[in-house]
Each structure stands twice: as structure tokens, then as C-alpha cells.
Amino acid sequence: MLWCLCYNIYMIIDHTSKSYLERWNALGVNRFNGAYYYSKEIVKNIIPNVKTTRNWITINAYNNEGIDHSIVFMHNTFHPEVYNWMMDFKDMLIVTSLPHLIKELGYLGHVIYLPLSIDINYVERFKTNKKTKDVAFVGRLSKLKHYDELNIHFDNDVDLIGDMPREDLLKEMAKYKRVYATGRVALEAKVLGCEILPYHPLFPDPVLWQVLDNKDAAKILQKKINEIDGVL
């Protein structure tokens, strides 16, 4: 899509692009992933609040869909090599949610760290006053095979919640006192009043997941863009 504002002229490649939707629809229940929902919030809450002449790529582009002079949000932090397509484009600015990837991804362009964020007002709609269930793993169930390889296992009394639209996931997660969760799901769980339990070696401390609203993240991103491109 083409967005033209009084101070910005840029292109956006996002979750509505034809090639992405074709792949997304083919994923079955795996299509209910964080990258898709994060892209929706980036387009709704972050992009309109950032002044820049750069283009935006809010999902992992394929089929040579990149654009020079773009801000690219990285979602797949386990396999950053899938973003090597960016080598074919000039002046890219990569946004990562893991600080340790800044140096590793430097060959692709400018890399900045931006903490994960959520739409707090939206998530709060699903909050309940009474917790009726104890503990659950919340996230994509397809990742459980990967966790088995890391020797991460959950007891039989841990419910497995995932592979459903975001609204349904939030409604169900809100019922639990404690959840195993990482990333944006962990932020959402905190807003819903859940205790976050550690389980992944990359994220041993639940304190890592500080709740940040999308619009506040936009302010952080604006400052970092200005440092690279100059104040507009």
C-alpha cells in the first residue's frame, strides 16, 4: 500500500501483501503467529506515530519484495539468516527485539534494538477479575517439538493453549493464574494479571518482559531513527 502524509511519503510491505497472505493462509493453525499480529499493530499504532522518509517492511518479505531505504521488523530471531534477502537492497534499517543480534546482523545494514510492545488498551479488554484455572503454556503448539529438542518439557497438569485467533487466545489466557510464555504473549499475559513462568534458556528471567505500549515504542523508534538519519 502507499501512504502519503503531510510529512511522510513511503511504501509499506505488510501482512496484507498478496504473497504474504498466500503463505499465511497455507499455514493452517500455524498462521495464528506473533509476526502477523505484531505487523497489524505496527501498521496501526507505530507507523502513523513515526516521522520518516523510509519505507516499511513489517513482515519477512519474500519473492524479492524488499525496497531500498526501508525499516524492517525482524520476527524470526531463532533463524536470522532468513533475512539475507536484505543483502540485495540498499540502506536498510533492521529492528530487532534481541540486543545480542545487533552485532550479528550488522552485515545487513543499520541494526537497532526496540523492545517488543503491545496494544495495552486492546489487551485490557480481555482481563477478568477472577482466575479460574491454574497454569498453562501459551503460544504456538508447533514449537513444542523444538522445545523437546532443547529438553524443555511441561508437566501433565500444564494446559496447552495456542493455535487460535488472537482474541480467543487472550480470552482463554486471562483465565489462568500462571503461564509459560515469552515475547509479546508474555507482555499480554502480564497485562491480563498472569504470573510469567520461565522455561526457555534464552529467556531465563521473566522480569525481562517489561510491558510497553506500541505508541511508546514508536517514540523510542523515532529517537533511534533520528540518530541514524538525522532529525527531521
Shared domain check, 105 and 218: yes
Bridge partners of 94, per DSSP, are 72, 111
What mean pLDDT is predicted for residues 166-195?
A: 96
Shared domain check, 105 and 125: no
- 7: pLDDT strictly greater than 50: no
Bridge partners of 195, per DSSP, are 178
Domain count, the chain: 2
Dihedral angle of Cα 117, 19, 92, 80, to the nearest 10 degrees: 70
What mean pLDDT is predicted for residues 121-137?
A: 97
Shared domain check, 113 and 133: no
Tell how far CA 168 is from the center of its chain: 18
Q: What is the pLDDT of residue 226?
A: 95
Shared domain check, 149 and 78: no
Shared domain check, 91 and 21: yes
Shared domain check, 64 and 166: no
What mean pLDDT is predicted for residues 97-116?
A: 90
d(CA 56, CA 26): 24
- Out of 135-144, 166-175, 209-218, which region has the weakest mean confidence (pLDDT)? 135-144
Shared domain check, 32 and 15: yes
Shared domain check, 187 and 158: yes
Shared domain check, 196 and 150: yes
Shared domain check, 142 and 110: no
Tens digit of pLDDT for each residue in 26-60? 877 777 787 889 999 999 999 999 999 999 999 88
The angle, 0 to 180 degrees and rounded to 10, between the axes of the packed helices 183-191 and 34-41 is: 70
pTM of this prediction? 0.89
Q: What is the pLDDT of residue 64?
A: 66
Identify the domain containing residue 49 by its residue range.
Answer: 2-117+212-229
Q: What is the pLDDT of residue 1?
A: 43
d(CA 226, CA 165): 36
